[in-house]
Amino acid sequence: MTTKTNTTTAEHKESSMFDAVLARLDVAAKIYGLSEDVAIVLRNPQKQVKVSLPIMMDSGKIEVFEGFRTVHSTILGPSKGGIRYGMDVCDDEVKALSAWMTFKCAVANLPYGGGKGGIKCDPRKMSVGELERLTKAYTYAMADVFGPHKDVPAPDMGTSAREMAWILDAYNTVHRGNFPAVVTGKPVGMGGSLGRETATGRGVMVATLAALKKLNLDPKKVTAAVQGFGNVGANAARLLHEQGIKVCAIGDHTATLWNEKGIDINAALAYAKTNGGVLKGFHGGVEIKNIELLTANVDVLVPAALQNVITEEIAVNIKAKLIIEGANGPTVPEADHVLQEKGIIVVPDILANSGGVTVSYFEWVQNNYGHYWTEEEVNKRHDESMHSAFDHVWNNGQKYKTTMRIGAYITALMKVEFGIKAKGNY
């Protein structure tokens, strides 16, 4: 078998997000002893699509937006992964996020491969009508990429159930039928699953409790800081608070707050709800700098907003004992060794935020089955799945004498390697 590739680690720029994926993949592959024949497949995404989307803006002018979708792997099932709207969306970011989805679905033991998509746009500056036209144009352009048994999108940064309903409508129009399983994270009542909206935050909470148990720490005596107050951050903060954890710092792109006595998370949620979803102007704590949240004097740090925020320099100053990666890719590879040397346990993104895709899978199952579960049932299945994934990753970390991050990659590699070898079609 030839092992020639167009994409090697060495060919990537230092700052590339896909580099961050390959860096961890290479470390895990070496420790686990992955064959180069398998590694080479994983280094090269299966399909990358880029489209131009001309949209009539409310002003009457046409603007053209760039849309992306990468299918990294369908080895273990249809590709699964969110759609992100933001000005930083680009080929490299989507490619990296799609690869993480391959590993995340494998860690969560789901019958899925990995995909990711996005549109380079600033959704905060667009009207609802413009966003609907853009989302539907994107779906028409991707109508042959998406499919209930091919590639299944979901919400990510800048998108929510509203955009998923538009995607479903556009897909149904093209394919002349009703295909609810083509997208997950839909509104409940349109085939969405109870518990999906809060699932990623719930997974962060379950992972936090599991990790605290390993460290023999009582949640009721623990403090936390949560960066990001969107879908993942706000739900994680609320659920951690409900478990008795004192959340002393929260923040979003408009404000960062600190309160030694613990922030009243329900008050923050109620405030954000009537304030365009943001924390600016909330008086539940003193304002601090964004960066100070990451290095705050707390036990648990939950980065749940952006990628690449925990750099080597920040890592040196982190005081938390535990980092639960709610966001995708919040830690740069160069910071890994600093955190490891400091003895900080990092529950990596591909495990910590896998609650969302787990309940997306449950939504897809319910759509295909045409039978819907109670929220209690969804949460129960989610928690069991999360605990099982946590234990597998923890045990592989111990077995291979490595970090939880590399333990998670090894867990994923074992499953994907099996799929690649079993298919035998190279």
**Distance (Å) of CA 95 to CA 69, 139, 161, 231, 243:** 8, 19, 23, 22, 36
Instruction: Note whether 21 and 333 are within 8 A (CB).
Output: no
The residue from 67, 158, 348, 397 that contacts ligand NAD (CB under 6 A) is 158
Judged by CB under 6 A, which stretch of 14-22, 56-64, 247-255, 387-395 contacts ligand NAD? 247-255
Q: Which is nearer to ligand NAD, 32 or 166 (CB)?
A: 166
Q: Which residues pair with 56 in a beta bridge?
A: 62
Greatest alpha-carbon span in the chain: 63
At residue 83, φ and ψ (nearest 5 deg) are -120, 125
Binding status of residue 123 toward ligand NAD by CB under 6 A: no
Residue 424 and residue 14: Cα distance in Å, rounded?
34
Binding status of residue 174 toward ligand NAD by CB under 6 A: no
Residue 135 token pair = 């989302």
**Three-state secondary structure of 156-217:** CCCCCHHHHHHHHHHHHHHHCCCCHHHCCCCCCCCCCCCCCCCHHHHHHHHHHHHHHHHCCC
Nearest distance in Å: CB 2, ligand NAD:
35
Burial, 43: exposed, middle or buried (Cβ in 10 Å; 0-12, 13-18, 19+)?
buried
The residue from 306, 314, 365, 414 that contacts ligand NAD (CB under 6 A) is 306
Binding status of residue 157 toward ligand NAD by CB under 6 A: yes
Instruction: Note whether 308 and 93 are within 8 A (CB).
Output: no
The residue from 92, 163, 252, 417 that contacts ligand NAD (CB under 6 A) is 252
Q: Which is nearer to ligand NAD, 75 or 97 (CB)?
A: 97
Q: Which is nearer to ligand NAD, 40 or 306 (CB)?
A: 306
Integer-rounded Cα radius of gyration of the chain: 21
Residues comprising the chain, all counted:
426
The residue from 191, 233, 348, 397 that contacts ligand NAD (CB under 6 A) is 233
Q: Which is nearer to ligand NAD, 304 or 404 (CB)?
A: 304
Binding status of residue 323 toward ligand NAD by CB under 6 A: no
Residue 135 and residue 190: Cα distance in Å, rounded?
17
Tell me what percent of the chain is helix, strand and coil, each rounded to the nearest 5. 50, 15, 35
Nearest to 294 by CA among 253, 332, 259, 251: 251
Binding status of residue 348 toward ligand NAD by CB under 6 A: no
Binding status of residue 228 toward ligand NAD by CB under 6 A: yes
Q: Which is nearer to ligand NAD, 55 or 327 (CB)?
A: 327
| Enzyme catalytic residues | 116
Binding status of residue 229 toward ligand NAD by CB under 6 A: yes
Judged by CB under 6 A, which stretch of 149-157, 205-213, 281-289, 372-380 contacts ligand NAD? 149-157
Binding status of residue 120 toward ligand NAD by CB under 6 A: no
**180 to 199, contacts with ligand NAD by CB under 6 A?**
none
Nearest distance in Å: CB 177, ligand NAD:
27
Q: Which is nearer to ligand NAD, 200 or 411 (CB)?
A: 200
Judged by CB under 6 A, which stretch of 69-77, 231-239, 371-379, 403-411 contacts ligand NAD? 231-239
Instruction: Note whether 389 and 244 are within 8 A (CB).
Output: no
Binding status of residue 156 toward ligand NAD by CB under 6 A: yes
Q: Which is nearer to ligand NAD, 336 or 417 (CB)?
A: 336
Binding status of residue 81 toward ligand NAD by CB under 6 A: no
Angle subtended by helix axes 17-32 and 36-43, to nearest 10: 170
Binding status of residue 231 toward ligand NAD by CB under 6 A: yes
Binding status of residue 353 toward ligand NAD by CB under 6 A: yes
Instruction: Note whether 47 and 66 are within 8 A (CB).
Output: no
Q: Which is nearer to ligand NAD, 236 or 322 (CB)?
A: 236
Residue 118 and residue 134: Cα distance in Å, rounded?
11
The residue from 327, 335, 339, 406 that contacts ligand NAD (CB under 6 A) is 327
Nearest distance in Å: CB 233, ligand NAD:
6
Binding status of residue 237 toward ligand NAD by CB under 6 A: no
Q: State the number of binding residues for ligand NAD (CB under 6 A).
A: 24
**397 to 416, contacts with ligand NAD by CB under 6 A?**
none
Residue 28 and residue 32: Cα distance in Å, rounded?
6
**6 to 65, contacts with ligand NAD by CB under 6 A?**
none
Nearest to 244 by CA among 229, 265, 269: 265
Binding residues (CB under 6 A) for ligand NAD: these are 155-158, 200, 227-233, 251-253, 290, 304-306, 326-328, 353, 356
